[in-house]
Amino acid sequence: MKLHFKIPQGLKKHVTDELLKSKETFRKGELQTSWQHLERAHILGQAYPIEHSQAHWQMLLFAFRIKNTKEILGQIPRLLVGGVKSFVGEIPLGNSGGANVPPLKPMEIPSDLKEILSAYQN
């Protein structure tokens, strides 16, 4: 079992970029695009406790902003447990992190994100 403590700096930049793009598109009213950037940040950061939790926190805030009760209720347990799962290396790879998918379901990783992740695998 591999414990994950700290995300590589280059990968952290990609996660941060996706979170910033989410904020920018949300401000423009492009809600679907904003959410997609949050999902991408989740996929990129899900192996690392801080970034994984940060993605779920931003998803929770998004859900509150758009008053989506299902998403709010889905994000709370993910926020509470996601970082712990990352720490011990038990994450469903590619899972987009939203309440619309089972929290433990592995999913196909988009090819551009797969390339980014492969550059930072040990």
What are the extents of the domains in the chain? 9-118
Cα distances (Å, whole numbers) of residue 50 to 3, 26, 30:
13, 23, 26
Regions of the chain where pLDDT drops below 70: 1-3, 122
Cα distances (Å, whole numbers) of residue 18 to 3, 33, 80, 88:
24, 11, 22, 24
Task: Report the percentage of the chain scoring pLDDT > 90.
Answer: 79
Structure tokens at 62: 């998004």
Tens digits of per-residue pLDDT, 57-87?
Answer: 999 999 999 999 999 999 999 999 887 788 7
Instruction: Single out the residue of 101, 102, 5, 17 nearest to residue 52, CA to CA.
Output: 5
Contacts of 58 by beta carbon, 8 Å cutoff, 6+ apart:
19, 22, 38, 41
Give residue 96's pLDDT: 95
